[in-house]
């Protein structure tokens, strides 16, 4: 009798749990699972959203392999992700270390560095287009101090990708900076005190205490920043247009996907690109999580 009562209570608790998470479950199924499955089916068709879809099998995936612009967009995106995520991570941690002080002035600086993260991407891109202007931009003004010629930062394919990296790596570091700050303030002060008594210097404390303690946050920031960098669209589209001017040097993967879907009306090809995009991010995330056991240290491990 007791076992029957416990079994009914467990089932009742399960139903209550499902009821509580049902809004998320419904949203996941309606807005993610079903559209994803539909997009997967579309990726095997030739469809312009007007006529009926025409089954082509894996033809879209084969065409992508031979598409030079697809390979170009993939290269541009991967290069940007590798450079910008590393630079943003270092800059965000550097700012967090500088601002890890409990004073009113530091609260102001934290707000100043975080604000660009919530400002419209179009507005940020326009401001940076002025900074990079070959005629009156701040960067060329600084170069003139040293007698150097002006550079067409956003009009030369040799410089445009690196100018874009500078823009993204210095502007959108507010969110990872705040997360790093929370991690720094969660490190017990007695660890630093003990290290100082043992004669450890600032660099030794940073590499022996700070970085290991922040490793779970570094893991989180790395994954979220990689996903965000792969999804780069608004700023690049504002500065470089749909074709990634100049010479496709700013043609990011998502921009080319958008072009295929809503300009060329090749929804089958765009759907195939979306699934390639998903598989790349999934593989990178899995690889990072798989290797994290060798460099991420949790509090229980230190204890």
Burial of 232 (0-12, 13-18, 19+ CB in 10 A): buried
DSSP readout, 155-181? Answer: T-TTTHHHHHHHHHHHHS-HHHHHHHH
Q: What is the pLDDT of residues 287-302, one digit of tens each?
A: 999 999 999 988 765 4
Phi, psi (rounded to 5 degrees) for 258: -60, -40
pLDDT value at position 297? 87
Q: What is the DSSP letter of 293?
A: G
Residue 10: predicted pLDDT: 60
- % the chain with pLDDT above 90: 78
Tell me how far CA of residue 140 lies from CA of 77, 146, 238, in angstroms: 26, 10, 21
Q: Write the pLDDT tens digit of every residue in 100-134.
A: 987 778 888 888 888 888 888 999 999 999 999 99
Tens-digit pLDDT profile for residues 174-184: 999 999 999 99
| CA-based nearest residue to 94, from 109, 79, 77 | 109
For residues 107 and 100, give the distance between their C-alpha atoms in angstroms, rounded to a whole number.
10
> What is the per-residue pLDDT for 117?
85
Cβ pair 293, 231 in contact under 8 A = no
Residue 4, pLDDT > 70, answer no
For the whole prediction, is pTM greater than 0.95?
no
What b/e string do you get for 277-298 counting C-beta neighbours within 10 Å, with b at 16 or more? beebbeebeeeeeeeeeeebee
- The pLDDT of residue 9 is 58
Q: Which residues contact 171 (CB under 8 A, 6 or more apart)?
A: 116, 117, 124, 128
Average pLDDT over every residue of 151-168: 95
**Statement: residue 2 has pLDDT above 70:** no
Q: Is the pLDDT of residue 303 over 50?
A: no
The pLDDT tens digits for 191-248 are 999 999 989 898 999 999 999 999 999 999 999 999 999 999 999 999 999 999 999 9
Q: d(Cα 90, Cα 222) in Å, to the nearest integer?
A: 11
Q: How many CB atoms sit inside 10 A of residue 211's CB? A: 14
What residue has token string 């990689």? 226
Q: Is residue 173 packed enough to be buried (19+ CB in 10 Å), middle (13-18) or exposed (0-12)? A: buried
Average pLDDT over the chain, rounded to an integer: 91
**What are the structural domain ranges in the chain?**
68-302
Strand partners, 57: none
Q: Can you tell me the mean pLDDT for 15-20?
A: 84
CA 259-124-242 angle, to 5 degrees, is 15
Under DSSP, the state recorded for 89 is H
- With a cut of 80, say whether residue 5 has pLDDT above it: no
- Alpha carbon separation from 134 to 60, 138, 140, 155, 246 (Å, rounded): 41, 9, 7, 9, 14
CATH number, domain 68-302, options 2.40.70.10, 2.40.110.10, 3.30.830.10, 1.10.3720.10: 1.10.3720.10
pLDDT at 12 over 70: no
Is-contact 235 227, C-beta < 8 A? no
Distance CA 141, CA 139 (A): 5
Residue 95: which of 34, 24, 170 has the closest Cα?
170
């Amino acid at each position: 009798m007791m076992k029957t009562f416990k079994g009914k209570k467990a089932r009742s608790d399960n139903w209550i749990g499902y009821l509580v998470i049902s809004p998320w479950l419904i949203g996941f199924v309606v807005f993610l699972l079903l559209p994803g499955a539909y997009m997967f089916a579309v990726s095997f068709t030739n469809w312009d959203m007007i006529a009926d879809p025409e089954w082509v099998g894996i033809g879209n995936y084969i065409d992508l392999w031979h598409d030079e612009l697809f390979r170009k967009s993939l290269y541009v995106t991967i290069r940007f992700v590798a450079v910008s995520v590393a630079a943003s991570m270092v800059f965000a941690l550097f700012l967090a270390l500088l601002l890890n002080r409990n004073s009113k002035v530091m609260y102001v600086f934290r707000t100043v560095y975080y604000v660009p993260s919530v400002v419209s991407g179009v507005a940020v891109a326009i401001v940076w287009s002025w900074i990079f202007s070959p005629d009156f931009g701040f960067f060329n003004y600084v170069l003139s101090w040293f007698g150097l010629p002006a550079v067409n930062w956003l009009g030369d394919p040799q410089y445009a990708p690196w100018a874009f990296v500078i823009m993204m790596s210095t502007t959108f570091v507010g969110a990872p900076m705040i997360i790093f700050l929370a991690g720094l303030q969660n490190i017990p002060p007695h660890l630093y005190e003990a290290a100082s008594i043992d004669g450890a210097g600032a660099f030794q404390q940073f590499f022996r205490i700070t970085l290991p303690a922040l490793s779970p946050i570094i893991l989180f920031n790395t994954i979220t920043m990689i996903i965000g960098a792969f999804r780069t669209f608004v700023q690049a589209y504002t500065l470089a247009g749909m074709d990634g001017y100049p010479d496709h040097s700013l043609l990011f993967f998502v921009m080319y996907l958008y072009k295929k879907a809503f300009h060329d009306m090749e929804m089958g090809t765009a759907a195939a690109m979306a699934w390639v995009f998903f598989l790349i991010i999934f593989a990178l995330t899995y690889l990072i999580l798989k290797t994290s056991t060798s460099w991420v240290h949790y509090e229980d491990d230190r204890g």
